[in-house]
Amino acid sequence: MSEEQGKTARSALWSLVENAGLCVISMGSLIVYTHLLSSAEFGLFSIVLALIELLQVLVTMLFHDALVQRREATELHFDTAFTFSVGLSVALLLLCCLAAPLLAWVVKESDASWVLASMALCLPAASFSSTIVARQRRSLSFRPLAIRSLVGRFAGAAGGIALVALGAGVWGLVAQQVLIQLVGSLLLWVTCKEKPKLRFGRAEFKELTAFGVYAVGALFLTFGTKRLFTVLTGLFLGVTTAGYLNLSFRAVDAFWAIASTAATQVALPMLASQQSDLARVKRSFQFSTGLVCTVLYLLFVGIAVTAPEVVSVLFGNKWLPSAPYVTALALSVLIQAPRLLVGSMLTALGRPRDLLLEKAAELIFIVLAISVSRTPTLAWAVGIWIARELLSLPITSRMLKNATGFGLVDQLRGVGVPLVASAVMAGALLALRARLPETFSPTLRLALMAGAGAGCFLATTYVLDRALIKQVLGFAQAALTRGTRGTQGRATPKPPGLGA
């Protein structure tokens, strides 16, 4: 494996370390909160957090993909993006303060007003590091980003848990979110060598906006669809049921972030550097998709089958009503994983508008489905969410074919073996569960099923495709091999790729 491929693998490793660490911290704090907070308090926080995260996409990601994807990016490009992002964050903070009483009236919770106004402090805190993040991802410098994220998340979790334990209730969760952004941005600002400045270039703004509007629009709709879904179902089902729904999403999303976020973070700069060589892009895309499906199918099909044990062990028996929905959401990864890198591919090829149209179709479907059905039960809500995944599958497949010429067979190459291995694993786990004594604790049952499931999946994969196992091991070995240090943080490095 070449040095360029090794650098890509090491970048993926640091992104994986970052997201795995974030998952552990997030899941640990979530476990504590589910034992200390009521479902109503958790539901209120979920609704407000959905709104803040939606606005934060505008602040942090408006110019992110444009800065990463550009062949040439000057210091004035980065400074212009920084200046506008800071100004936008202040404007959105004021908007949240003005709209806070309206939210309290809509959700019929008097605390919602102050919760929204306070949590909106996350916006300016995040804006100060947004362009630094883009610069370091552009150069595949994922190590400082990983350290910054982990320190910020740990500080926020420690502060939030301490406050909740002292009886602060939902305010502990608010403090956690603000601390995460504040500490993370401060650490990244202090440690980076090239700090952005408050200056503005009109020409640079137009160049970044021409690409960034479509890219952030697609990302805004990606985040917005789930957050709007949470808000709307919360309004129809109430904050208590919204708490169960949010727990189901978080139980799946926490693990999803480990591999999927790492893959997409590295894929964009990798594929952008190869955009002039379509054959190389095709090899990288197929290898990456096979690798992603192998990892994600093993993890999420396992979670789907063991959902009752997972919920019981992590959150307690009072949250067991969420288990069927954890199963359904985990199985939806079978649809998500093969198209996980499509967004990175289209963005790298300069076609963010395609993503915007696909995400708009998903959002329209969600709004219409909820409005017509009025989501009478939680099962209805989860069913609508999974139907959205099925709707988007043929749309993204067609868009990728139009952009690259890759047919459906090319797009799904590498999916078959992980899919068969997942089916064999699921059958083996269901048979094992039926034979385990009822006297076994949920922790023991989960440990036995996890070990057996992983062994069954890997054994089936090895029998069907030894080359796939070798590729995964080779990629892991390259990630763990120390490479030559290069110059980091420059404005115009060309990131490496997998396809040599």
| pLDDT tens-digit series, residues 469-499 | 777 777 666 656 654 443 333 333 333 333 3
pTM of the model: 0.64
Quick one: which of 169, 194, 164, 145 has its CA closest to 28?
164
Q: For residue 496, what pLDDT is reported?
A: 32
Q: For residue 451, what pLDDT is reported?
A: 94
Q: For residue 275, what pLDDT is reported?
A: 65
The helix-helix angle for 202-237 and 39-61 (nearest 10°) equals: 160
Judge whether residue 107 has pLDDT over 50.
yes
Which range scores top for mean pLDDT: 266-275, 288-297, 302-311, 359-368?
A: 302-311
- The residue-averaged pLDDT of 281-296 equals 82
- The residue-averaged pLDDT of 223-248 equals 75
Query: What are the extents of the domains in the chain?
Result: 3-480
Residue 160: count of CB within 10 angstroms of its CB: 24
Q: For residue 128, what pLDDT is reported?
A: 87
- The residue-averaged pLDDT of 432-436 equals 92
**In the structure, how many helices (H) and strands (E) does the chain have?**
23, 0
Q: Which residue has the higher pLDDT, 449 or 18?
A: 449
Q: What is the band of 16 on the pLDDT scale with cuts at 50, 70, 90?
A: low
Q: What is the band of 23 on the pLDDT scale with cuts at 50, 70, 90?
A: low
Q: For residue 211, what pLDDT is reported?
A: 77
pLDDT tens per residue, range 419-431: 999 999 999 999 9
C-alpha of 137 from chain center = 16
pLDDT tens per residue, range 383-393: 999 998 888 88
Q: What is the 3-state secondary structure (H, E, C) of 407-470?
A: CHHHHCCCCHHHHHHHHHHHHHHHHHHHHCCCCCCHHHHHHHHHHHHHHHHHHHHHHHCHHHHH
- Percent of the chain exceeding pLDDT 70 equals 80
Work out the burial of residue 462: count CB atoms within 10 Å of its CB; fewer than 13 is exposed, 13-18 middle, 19 or more buried: middle
Judge whether residue 284 has pLDDT over 70.
yes
DSSP letters spanning 376-390: -SHHHHHHHHHHHHH
Q: For residue 142, what pLDDT is reported?
A: 66
Q: Which residue has the higher pLDDT, 49 or 387?
A: 387
Q: For residue 495, what pLDDT is reported?
A: 33
pLDDT tens per residue, range 310-367: 999 888 888 888 899 999 999 999 998 888 888 778 877 777 778 788 888 888 898 8
Contact 350, 275 (CB under 8 A): yes
- Percent of the chain exceeding pLDDT 90 equals 18
Q: Lowest mean pLDDT of 17-21, 276-280, 398-402, name the range.
A: 17-21
- Collapsed DSSP state (helix, strand, coil) of residue 137: helix
Q: For residue 490, what pLDDT is reported?
A: 36
Q: Which residue has the higher pLDDT, 260 or 8?
A: 260
| Averaged pLDDT score across all residues of the chain | 79
Contact 489, 139 (CB under 8 A): yes
Q: Lowest mean pLDDT of 121-130, 253-262, 328-337, name the range.
A: 253-262
Q: For residue 436, what pLDDT is reported?
A: 92
Torsion (CA) 209, 212, 217, 222 in degrees, nearest 10: -160
pLDDT tens per residue, range 455-472: 999 999 999 988 877 777
Q: What is the band of 239 on the pLDDT scale with cuts at 50, 70, 90?
A: low
